Structure 1
Amino acid sequence: MTKDTDAANATTLSGRAGFLLSELGSRSAGRFAVRLGPLGIAPKHYGLMELLSRNEGLTQQQLGTTLGIHRNVMVGLVDDLEKRGLAERRRHPTDRRAHAIHLTESARGLLPLARSIADEHETELLSVLDGPERAQLLALLQRLAAQPGRPADVHPGLRGSRP
């Protein structure tokens, strides 16, 4: 490419990283939601179930703090999982005012299926890249995502708002 071509590309949307990340993210999120649909969950439910699978028994407040989610949004997400039979509130063992959130057996059975869907989705999404390119892309994206003020492992859709 020449200097003129580089400058021209930078002024088109396809030459802007922010546009491409947004476009690919939107397309990926939509496809992932469709893939999870038959399981009766959305990506936000899957994300919360993954967090709970690694942190069983956290309170709603702890979940909200960890994810950077307002308490009202967190209550709604836990309510959603509870209505689907995927989570339950139990009395916290040391704080009578709090409830510990636990996955149900149904959720534990659903998680391997959801993980398989997530794996298939990622494979399809990155199918045009070889192994080293995938690793490089992931490393670069993780570096961008690690900027201060960005909670790790939290999608804006899970927080209920856009940054």
Structure 2
Amino acid sequence: MEAQPVDPATLGMLLYRAHRLARAKSNEAARPAGIELQHAGVLSAVRTGGVRSQRELGAALGVDKSTLVRIVDDLERRNLVRRQRSRHDRRAYEIVLTEDGERRLDEANGLFADAMSGLLKVFDDEERHRLHELLSRFVAQD
């Protein structure tokens, strides 16, 4: 029996709902660390060392300038990052991860992983690998 075609709009809605579920569960799980996924994305990008300025961060994360400034301001208030003058361009500021930022990002990443493991229990190992493969191919279009 041949599989019925999948309605692209329905599939898009399922992807949206999956994103919302994963984000909500991850944010809820990481509440003790005081970090949400949006914070973790910025902290992780800074940790890699490949991006330093707010402009580079925004481009790397696909986040508009005003949203990124709000997130970095919030992280700075919490002493998870600090802004410092760039050694290469005195007009620009670099975003630097603090020790507390490192520690709390590590804590949050563990909590995020636990939350996702719980959500992914509906799949066996083979299905998880296949889902990873499919989603990797899907986002590689970007």
Task: Please list the CA deviations of residues 42-69 of structure 1 after superposition, one character each: whole Å capped at 9, or x if unmatched.
Answer: 2100111111111266111111122222
Distance 2:29 2:58 in 1: 26
Distance 1:57 1:69 in 2: 14
Give 2:101's aligned amino acid. Answer: A
Pairing partner for 2:121 from 105, 127, 142: 127
**Kept after mapping to 2: 8 A contact 1:92/1:98:** yes
**Kept after mapping to 1: 8 A contact 2:84/2:96:** yes
Q: 1:89 to 1:119 in 2, by over 3 A?
A: same
Distance 1:17 1:57 in 2: 34
SS at match of 1:126: helix
Look at both structures and tell me which one has the larger radius of gyration over its CA atoms: 1
SS at match of 1:85: coil
Which blocks of at least 5 consecutive residues in structure 1 are unaligned? 151-163
Instruction: Report matched runs for 1:78-93 at 5 Å.
Output: 78-93=72-87
Structure 1 partner of 2:135: 141
Please give the root-mean-square deviation of Cα atoms over the aligned residues, in Å: 2.1
- How many residue pairs match? The answer is 141
Pairing partner for 1:19 from 13, 19, 36: 13
Distance 1:121 1:68 in 2: 24
* 1:46 to 2:40 alignment: yes
Cα displacement (A) at 1:113: 0.9
Structure 1 partner of 2:26: 32
Q: 1:56 to 1:83 in 2, by over 3 A?
A: farther
* 1:112 to 2:106 alignment: yes
SS at match of 1:58: coil
* 1:67 to 2:68 alignment: no
**Kept after mapping to 1: 8 A contact 2:35/2:105:** no
Structure 1 partner of 2:90: 96
Percent identical among aligned pairs is 32
Distance 1:120 1:140 in 2: 22
Cα displacement (A) at 1:88: 0.2
Distance 1:86 1:42 in 2: 13
Q: 1:19 to 1:57 in 2, by over 3 A?
A: closer
